[in-house]
Amino acid sequence: MSLPKISKIFIIGGTGAQGLPVIKSLVADKKYSVRVLTRDPNSARAKSLLALGNVELHEGTFADEEILRSGFQGCDGAFVNIDGFNTGEKSEIYWAIRAYEIALQSGIKFYVYGNLDYASKKTKTIMTPTVENGVVTWRLPMGTGSMLAVALEDCGVYVRWLFDNRERSNGMDLEIAIEDVKWAHFAKAFEEVTGHPAKYIDTSLEDYWKERETFGQMPAGYNAVPNDKSTMNVKDNFTGFWNVWKYSLLKRDYNILDEIHPTRIKTAEEWLRMEDKKGIEDGKGTLWDRIQGENLIPILKIGEDNWGETGKYDRELCDRGF
């Protein structure tokens, strides 16, 4: 039996790092139209999405049931990516479940939950290095383990495939990555691409957190309740993050990824070359230029939007080398 037709998709997290390429891919040929939830329809990211066509904006937050119901209303598909750095661990779990329940009640026929492994959420960018005596240096507590690097540009292709191939993708847990990357190899690739010396230095978790002691005690989610004993702090969150990579606990099926996206980015060096070229074309400079202290920009969308204290939170992420 064929699945119902999907034409309009409600997007939660559409102005975030994963959501932007997903929406661009969904509306590229006008097969789908999307309704994008955003706290600020006047933000630069929201306006850039509106300019794509087949996009409407829905003002509000995912932490509001009425907003969710009105957002799902009239749509037959959904792509949901809850921002855990907004909610904190406990609320992220709640809203992930509640959003799905409301989607079913609202008649959504195909629901894609856009998530990454607990530890993959920071592989969207190169881990911020420092320049020490002219050498680009990563001091990270991951030993000789491998990290699963994710190319945001490819996220849109994979999500589009899920919606286009629902008979096959229904119930599928599609896990993506570029490759398993050892950070010493990443540093070597950076050196090859930029022509500037680079190195990776393994460090202990104790030394790593010694330099980030105050920040480590902050809540992992900027809207989490600090005095709630169940609130996870940044140190606990990222200690788990680093240990997952140190012991190479996560794996990917690259054969299925090659089948779905034959032209995908397959190596860290390929991604670095693409980023270097793109930065020059966009007037942002080379990768070498962009990792200089004065040129570092916030990783998360909240820093760009500067939502009160959240802007400070994200600048701290950038300053601390996350």
pLDDT for the residue numbered 229: 82
pLDDT for 128-149, tens place per residue?
Answer: 889 999 999 999 999 999 999 8
- What confidence score (pLDDT) does residue 146 get? 95
Are residue 62 and residue 131 in the same domain, yes or no?
no
85 shares a domain with 67: yes
The CATH number for 78's domain is 3.40.50.720
pLDDT score of 19 more than 70:
yes
Residue 172 belongs to a domain: no
**Measured between alpha carbons, how far apart are the two ends of the chain, in Å?**
47
- Domain closes at, from 99, 115, 131: 115
Q: Mean of the pLDDT values across residues 46-63?
A: 96
pLDDT at 66 > cutoff 70: yes
145 with 225, same domain: the answer is yes
More confident residue, 321 or 76: 76
What is the number of domains present in the chain?
A: 2
pLDDT band at 1 (very low <50, low <70, confident <90, very high): low
Q: Are residues 124 and 270 located together in one domain of the fold?
A: yes
Q: pLDDT value at position 76?
A: 95
- Which is higher by pLDDT, 297 or 199? 199
Residues 40 and 53 in one domain: yes
From 115, 135, 165, give the residue that closes a domain: 115
Asked whether residue 155 is domain-assigned, the answer is no
The answer as to whether 158 is a domain residue is no
What is the structure's pLDDT at 303? 55
Residue 60 falls within a domain, yes or no?
yes
Instruction: Confirm whether 1 is domain-assigned.
Output: no
- Check whether residue 65 and residue 214 sit in a common domain: no
Same domain for 123 and 100: no
- Do 110 and 124 belong to one domain? no
Domain-located, residue 3? no
Residue 126 has pLDDT above 50, yes or no: no
Provide mean pLDDT across the span 69-84: 94
**Which pLDDT band, with edges at 50, 70 and 90, does 3 fall under?**
confident
At 33, is the pLDDT very low, low, confident or very high (cuts 50, 70, 90)?
A: very high
Q: To the nearest whole number, what is the mean pLDDT of the chain?
A: 88
Query: Which domain, by its residues, includes 278?
Result: 119-150+177-319
Confidence band of 309 (pLDDT split at 50, 70, 90): very low
Specify if 167 maps to a domain: no
Q: Are residues 88 and 234 in the same domain?
A: no
Q: Are 63 and 111 within one domain?
A: yes
Span 57-86, average pLDDT: 94
* Residue 77 confidence (pLDDT): 97
Are 205 and 308 within one domain? yes
% of the chain beyond a pLDDT of 90: 68
What confidence tier does 115 reach under pLDDT thresholds 50, 70, 90? confident
Query: Would you state the pLDDT for residue 124?
Result: 40
Mean local confidence (pLDDT), 54-61: 97
Confidence of residue 225 (pLDDT cuts 50, 70, 90): confident
Over residues 55-76, mean pLDDT: 97
Classify the C-alpha dihedral 296-299-305-309 as positive or negative.
negative
In a domain, 87, yes or no: yes
Residues 110 and 123 in one domain: no
